[in-house]
């Protein structure tokens, strides 16, 4: 199998990371000039990512790159920049370069059907990461986003107590299973408290600046707000910025992902109450490991869950560090 060959490469092997332009793929100096399949070189992984506009996705890429390097594999990278049409084109370019396996973080799970079908026709296995697709992938690596939403929701419901209040929800992306599951888990937990009312805000695509704009409107239309739940910490921090600008330190803030900036806010005892760990570097590492396993015929029976933990004032101080995202202290 190809994986057994590349695992024998010495530690001095250099992984080439290629970057896709809008039209074509290029490799950095020192990389293989040909494609992956049918060659005698190292395994080549094509990684098509939804966006680089969030620190989570920047770190996810870094984790995948490092894991590929450690395995002696090459990784060709493409940033769809939130454009599903570009992502389909990117995947076609990767297929043309004859990658051995595709790692896909979909912009839109439904919108990438054409790309997944093309990979299947070319005999190239597909592993999805973070966001799954309805069909066509050989494996999926992610985290239980519904469980993460439920962890944060239960903690917020507990903090609000019998007084309850209005909770503004700032959502991720329309049609994405991550946003859907983080919302469902949160609603299921918070709605156990009958005194809580959830106001659903707009989709802000996991981008802080978008959440700032959304929150500026939401705070005007919901002056009685007691708490904010955003589908990631980057958006939650955007909401926190607006709340502070309006002197609303009384409003609790919650998010998901364990972004270190959010963990520090929690540890400092401010209005930021809770988040859930979603270390993207570890996620990228697991995704590459699973991809190499699939090439060896080791296909998981179901989704591979990288795990999570609630972060609140009881443990945030122990998780503060110099990484972009908090790491699970138990790992």
Angle between helices 208-221 and 233-245 (to 10 degrees): 50
| pLDDT one-digit tens code per residue, 32-43 | 334 454 456 899
Can 2-141+280-300 and 145-277+310-319 be said to share one CATH topology?
yes
pLDDT at position 277 is: 96
pLDDT at position 22 is: 36
Length of the chain: 331
**From the CB of residue 250, how many other CB atoms can be counted at a distance below 10 Å?**
10
Distance CA 23, CA 247 (A): 48
| pLDDT one-digit tens code per residue, 103-157 | 999 999 899 999 999 999 999 999 999 989 999 999 999 999 999 999 999 999 9
Reduced to 3 states (helix: H, G, I; strand: E, B; else coil), residue 286 is helix
Distance CA 325, CA 260 (A): 5
User: Which residues pair with residue 255 across a beta bridge?
Assistant: none
Name the fold adopted by 145-277+310-319.
Answer: Rossmann fold (3.40.50)
Distance CA 173, CA 110 (A): 13
Question: How do strand 126-129 and strand 101-104 relate by DSSP bridges?
Answer: parallel
Domain boundaries, the chain: 2-141+280-300, 145-277+310-319
pLDDT at position 286 is: 95
pLDDT at position 302 is: 94
Residue 291: name the closest of 51, 8, 35, 76 by CA: 76
pLDDT at position 328 is: 76
Q: The tokens of 283 are what?
A: 């996620």
> How far lies 223's CA from each of 84, 209, 241, 248, 250, in Å?
37, 21, 16, 10, 12
pLDDT at position 192 is: 84
Task: Give the phi and the psi of residue 213 in degrees, each rounded to 5.
Answer: -60, -45
pLDDT at position 13 is: 31
pLDDT at position 51 is: 93
Q: The tokens of 269 are what?
A: 């005892």
Name the fold adopted by 2-141+280-300.
Answer: Rossmann fold (3.40.50)
- What element of type H or E holds 200? strand 196-203
pLDDT at position 119 is: 97
pLDDT at position 329 is: 62
User: Three-state secondary structure along 125-181?
Assistant: CEEEECCCCCCCCCEEEECCHHHHHHHHHHHHHHHHHHHCEEEEEEECCCCCHHHHH
Q: The tokens of 208 are what?
A: 């802080």
Q: Considering the entire predicted model, what is its pTM?
A: 0.75
Distance CA 108, CA 223 (A): 34
pLDDT tens sequence for the chain (331 residues): 443 333 332 223 333 334 433 333 433 222 333 445 445 689 999 999 999 988 889 999 999 999 999 999 999 999 999 999 999 999 999 999 999 999 999 999 899 999 999 999 999 999 999 989 999 999 999 999 999 999 999 999 999 999 999 999 999 999 888 899 999 999 999 988 999 999 999 999 999 999 999 999 999 999 999 999 999 999 999 999 999 999 999 999 999 999 999 999 999 999 999 999 999 999 999 999 999 999 999 999 999 998 899 999 999 999 999 999 998 765 5
Angle between helices 260-267 and 233-245 (to 10 degrees): 50
pLDDT at position 175 is: 82
Cα-based angle 302, 87, 171 (whole degrees, multiple of 5): 70
User: Per DSSP, which regions of 266-322 are E strands?
Assistant: 272-276, 304-305, 310-311
Distance CA 109, CA 84 (A): 9
pLDDT at position 19 is: 41
């Amino acid at each position: 199998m190809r994986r057994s060959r590349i695992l024998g490469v010495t530690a001095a092997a250099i992984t080439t990371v290629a970057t896709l332009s809008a039209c074509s793929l290029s490799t950095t100096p020192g990389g293989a000039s040909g494609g992956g399949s049918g060659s005698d070189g190292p395994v080549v992984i094509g990684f098509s990512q939804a966006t680089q506009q969030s620190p989570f996705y920047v770190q996810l890429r870094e984790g995948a790159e490092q894991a590929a390097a450690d395995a002696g594999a090459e990784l060709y990278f493409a940033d769809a920049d939130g454009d599903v049409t570009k992502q389909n084109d990117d995947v076609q370019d990767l297929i043309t370069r004859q990658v051995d396996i595709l790692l896909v973080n979909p912009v839109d799970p439904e919108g990438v059907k054409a790309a997944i079908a093309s990979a299947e026709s070319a005999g190239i296995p597909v592993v999805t990461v973070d966001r799954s697709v309805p069909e066509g992938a050989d494996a999926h690596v992610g985290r239980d986003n519904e469980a993460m939403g439920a962890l944060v929701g239960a903690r917020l419901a507990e903090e609000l107590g019998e007084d309850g209040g209005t909770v503004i929800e700032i959502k991720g992306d329309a049609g994405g299973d991550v946003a859907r599951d983080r919302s469902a888990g949160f609603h299921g937990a918070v709605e156990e408290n009958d005194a809580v009312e959830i106001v659903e805000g707009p989709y802000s695509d996991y981008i802080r600046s978008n959440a700032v704009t959304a929150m500026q409107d939401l705070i005007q239309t919901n002056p009685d707000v007691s708490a904010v739940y955003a589908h990631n910490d980057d958006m939650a921090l955007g909401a926190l910025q607006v709340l502070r600008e309006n002197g609303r330190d009384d409003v609790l803030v919650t998010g998901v992902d364990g972004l270190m900036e959010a963990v520090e806010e929690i540890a400092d005892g401010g209005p930021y109450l809770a988040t859930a760990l979603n270390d993207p570097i570890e996620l990228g590492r697991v995704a590459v490991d699973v991809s190499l396993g699939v090439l060896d015929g080791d296909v998981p029976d179901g989704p591979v869950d990288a795990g999570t933990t609630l972060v609140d004032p009881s443990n945030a101080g122990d998780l503060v560090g110099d990484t972009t995202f908090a790491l699970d202290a138990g790992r």
